[in-house]
Amino acid sequence: MVDIAARLQNPQTIFYWPYVVASFVIALIWLIFIGRKSLKQSFAYLFSAKIWLTSSTWIDLQYSAIYLLFVRSLIVAIEAAVLCAS
């Protein structure tokens, strides 16, 4: 099981909460000042299904699931075997 809270608190992941917040703020500032959108339009754009429900997002989710289910499980199994052997 993936501990989401731990990933948000680990600065070695791209999901570290300050990185996520900073990315959101940068996108919001860009949309307001460069894209000439209002604050309401910027939020609507950032949380639009048109942005989040694309084939690219679906592929990213599939790769993440494959990594979490198979690669990460394999790493944990190898670590457990090494600990048992020592």
Q: What does the pLDDT average to over 6-31?
A: 90
Q: Which is more confidently placed, 1 or 5?
A: 5
Number of separate helices (H) and strands (E) present in the chain: 6, 0
Give the model confidence (pLDDT) of 22-69 as tens digits. 999 999 999 999 999 999 999 999 999 988 889 998 998 898 888 878
Distance of alpha carbon 18 from alpha carbon 20, whole angstroms: 5
- DSSP secondary structure letter of residue 53: S
What does R_g of the chain's alpha carbons equal in angstroms?
A: 18
